Structure 1
Amino acid sequence: MRSPEQGFSLVELMVSIVIGMLALVFALRLMSGSERTQRNGVGSSDAMQNGMLALFSMSGDAAQAGYGLNDPIIAGCDTVFSDARHYALASVTVGGVTLNPLAPVIIEKEVGGASAAPATDGENPDRVNFYAGSSITGTGTMRLLSAYTAGTRIVVDRVPYGFRQGDVIVVAPEQLGGKCALAQISSDPDALAALPAQQSVDVVQNSAYRYNSGALGASFGAGVSRVFNLGPARSLSFHTWSVANGFLQLRSTDMDGAAENPAAVAGDIVSIKAQYGFDNRVGANFTPDAGMQVKVWSSTMINADGDGVTGGAGDTLRIAAVRLAVVARSRTPDAAPAGGNCTATTAPLTVFAGGSAGAAAVPVKVKLGVPGDTVDWRCYRYRVFETIVPLRNFVWRP
């Protein structure tokens, strides 16, 4: 008798191959889904870290804003400013005239710029400026004893105690909203104090004093102008926050190398937005000594004091708080389906959608496209971080 043949038949072999291929397909899909989930999780974690870092940095600046600049004489004054390291003050338009005011916060609106998102899909990022001094004397001042028209010497009415060589000063008229000038003390006030002659401070131009241009650049009357001390130049905190090419950037007077060219602070930041919180109460209802109240949120300056001029010094004095928003995105984009568009984010985001006690919300739609990015903005996932910071230093004005 012949023994039966051993091994697999062709049918059994084909069935085994099919089962193996199905198992391989399921395994690949499981691994792909796991990888996609892990990538989304890591991307969300990166967005959270970068967004929190950006908001923490900006809100810390906002909390310090206005220190040394909270006297009504200084607030909103059009400032003559010169910096050898090329930091520039923010510009605003008041009554058709371009000014460079000193204020705790100045919000500039970015315009233009190519983007992967249509222009109608939201607003460009803002530029947000926070200004603060560091003088421990607070708002200590001296009055001009003699009129100043030109030169490097400022004659004052008392011994300049609390003022030191290298300190940054602001000379301003006592009339609200006048022209003021920022400079740096080049003389030694302690040495001048020992002299029997009239007291003065000098603003001589040389490489040691970056904010001096050889003159103040404006005229100031005797007995009606004051000198304010903002503290040492090394700690003068004039900061400009902006977003470019997906990075949060900072221009700063007190960080080496960042006065003219901004330094990157955090990556994968799509946009920053800011709003002023105004106290626009009128007449006897406006009681700043009893506490400021945010009654209106606005992305731009308004006529908060009711004098008919939008953005004037009186409006600056009505800023009680600032609202900040940071939009961060995942580092790795989601893959688009074959022949289709990404659906990770299907519509632009809206910030400032919620109101606050006593003030209605003013929602703002944010443009999500990053100029130069070849990936559609819809392929990314986004996180929004918001906060409200009271301008405590500005509220505590004399």
Structure 2
Amino acid sequence: MTASPVSPAAQRGVTLIELMIGMVIGLLAVLVIAQVTTVYEGRKRTITAGSDAQVNGALALQTLQRDVQASGYGMTEGGATGCRMVGQRAGVAGQFEHTLAPVAITDGANGAPDSLDVLMSNHADFALPTRVAGGHTRGSNVFVIGANTDLGHHKGDLLLAVPTPTPDQTDPSRYCSLFNLSAEPVAGSGQLFHDAGADGPWNQDLGTTVFPGIQSTDVSYPAGSLLLDLGTLVSRRYCLTGLADAQCDTPAPQAPYHLRQISFDSSTGQSTAADLYPQIVQLQAVYGIDTSTPPDQVADVWTAVSPTTAKGWQRVVAVRVAVVARSTQNEQRPGKAATDWVTPTLPVWYPDGVTAEPIHVEKSPPGAGDDWRNYRYKVFETVIPLRNLLWQPA
């Protein structure tokens, strides 16, 4: 059979009008898809950046909590808390002086971030105090202790001598002394030597002994004083980089707004800096002070003012810390009004557990003016008990 011919009218094809309508429909579909993709990508970046900020903030707070809880380990026995520690390390000009405070807060001016200094011992064995049996004079090179009480002491250990009665840090003539054991204790000898030299890097008197007194025969540490074996003195400073803190920014950080840990190791005499978690833009802390008489180990007052006496330091039973993490995503998108902010007001924390106070995240803005309002913030806050102070004898 032969196919029937197709009429010319059926072979017209697509008209120009039909083609233009098809193009308009296609362009509208592309526009809708582009808008949906843009919104989706924006939401995804917001969620991802927010998740990163929450992780960074939680880890930063956990790191601070872990070290603050361990602060004062091996250093608070015998009422040593608040004592002025004096030492002299080989090759270092001037004496090392530091208040024996498990945690010290440096309050940032006008709402700027605070910094925390944490002290603890790092002993391989156990941290039991040793009682001095015979008076130690200013010029002596040996501490006399009871027979068979040298357990846990080893050559090179850093010890802290604490006189009795415990000195107050306001008395310049009485303090606590840092020294090294220069020889392995002989079992049963009742002697702990601290000769100057290569075996005792913290025994370098350089003409000015670290032991209290005036004459070499003056008794620096009478019988009954305590020796605390620190093993190694660990001092860690936590601060935020890129916020005009010269000490925190030396050496130069890898990027601003990191929680930085600066660690000092007494065995090497060296400090090392590590940038831990990014986008941490605020750190605030206050002491919890037990003002009850007699002490009941419950914080009654919360303040950022550091104590000025040994008894004042012994009343610090907790620290309240707040960390603020910021998202990296700028939420100011095209088409939004300049005042359509995602964070219109400053976030808050509760330094006394009751009253809300603003946290000044505008102290670390990513840009000028109100640009800080275009970012999301998360506040992480907790109370950290100082267990090594709570466990010390009243």
2:163 touches 2:222 (CA, 8 Å); kept in 1? no
Structure 2 distance, partners of 1:256, 1:201, is 18
Q: Kindly provide the amino acid, as one letter, of the partner of residue 366 in structure 1.
A: H
Matches within 5 A, 1:53-132: 53-82=59-88, 100-111=98-109, 123-132=111-120
* Deviation of the 1:81 alpha carbon: 4.0
1:192-237, Cα deviation, whole Å (9 max, x unpaired):
x54xxx734215243x65544336524153426734223322xx33
Structure 1 distance, partners of 2:324, 2:95, is 25
1:171 aligns to 2:161 (yes or no): yes
Q: Kindly provide the amino acid, as one letter, of the partner of residue 231 in structure 1.
A: L
Structure 2 distance, partners of 1:126, 1:83, is 29
1:335-373, Cα deviation, whole Å (9 max, x unpaired):
444683672322322222672xxxx547352334437x4
* Deviation of the 1:187 alpha carbon: 2.0
2:130 touches 2:145 (CA, 8 Å); kept in 1? no
1:123-166, Cα deviation, whole Å (9 max, x unpaired):
11111112122455534123273443357x14334345122211
Describe the SS at the equivalent of 1:25.
helix
Name the counterpart of 1:385: 380
Structure 2 distance, partners of 1:345, 1:273, is 20
Name the counterpart of 2:225: 226
* Deviation of the 1:321 alpha carbon: 1.0
Matches within 5 A, 1:145-184: 145-150=134-139, 153-159=141-147, 161-162=150-151, 163-174=153-164, 175-177=166-168, 178-184=174-180
2:142 touches 2:192 (CA, 8 Å); kept in 1? yes
1:268-318, Cα deviation, whole Å (9 max, x unpaired):
211222111111113xxx244xxx1111111223xxxxxxxx521111111
* Deviation of the 1:37 alpha carbon: 0.9
* Deviation of the 1:4 alpha carbon: 7.4
Structure 2 distance, partners of 1:203, 1:362, is 55
* Deviation of the 1:19 alpha carbon: 2.4
Structure 2 distance, partners of 1:257, 1:8, is 86
Taking structure 1 as reference, are residues 259 and 222 closer, same or farther at Cα in structure 2, changes over 3 Å only?
closer
Q: Kindly provide the amino acid, as one letter, of the partner of residue 70 in structure 2.
A: Q
Partner of residue 30 from structure 2, selected from 24, 30, 33: 24
* Deviation of the 1:260 alpha carbon: 2.5
2:348 touches 2:359 (CA, 8 Å); kept in 1? yes
1:164-187, Cα deviation, whole Å (9 max, x unpaired):
211111123323314222222222
Taking structure 1 as reference, are residues 80 and 57 closer, same or farther at Cα in structure 2, changes over 3 Å only?
same
Q: Normalising to structure 2: TM-score of the pair?
A: 0.77
Taking structure 1 as reference, are residues 74 and 156 closer, same or farther at Cα in structure 2, changes over 3 Å only?
same
Taking structure 1 as reference, are residues 32 and 149 closer, same or farther at Cα in structure 2, changes over 3 Å only?
same
Partner of residue 252 from structure 1, selected from 263, 284, 298: 263
Taking structure 1 as reference, are residues 222 and 173 closer, same or farther at Cα in structure 2, changes over 3 Å only?
closer
* Deviation of the 1:106 alpha carbon: 0.6
Identical residues among aligned pairs (%)? 26
Structure 1 distance, partners of 2:358, 2:310, is 26
Structure 2 distance, partners of 1:89, 1:11, is 92
Name the counterpart of 2:289: 278
Gaps of 5+ in 1: 91-98, 112-121, 302-309
Bigger shift: residues 54-63 or 72-81: 72-81
Name the counterpart of 2:278: 267
Taking structure 1 as reference, are residues 83 and 52 closer, same or farther at Cα in structure 2, changes over 3 Å only?
farther
Name the counterpart of 2:250: none
Q: Normalising to structure 1: TM-score of the pair?
A: 0.77
Higher relative contact order (CA 8 A, sep 6+): 1
Describe the SS at the equivalent of 1:253.
strand
Structure 1 distance, partners of 2:282, 2:384, is 18
Describe the SS at the equivalent of 1:100.
strand
Name the counterpart of 2:308: 311
Structure 2 distance, partners of 1:255, 1:29, is 60
1:323 aligns to 2:311 (yes or no): no
1:199 aligns to 2:199 (yes or no): no
Give the count of matched residue pairs.
Answer: 352
Name the counterpart of 1:43: 49
Q: Kindly provide the amino acid, as one letter, of the partner of residue 293 in structure 1.
A: V
Gaps of 5+ in 2: 1-6, 169-173, 214-219, 242-255
Structure 2 distance, partners of 1:105, 1:154, is 31
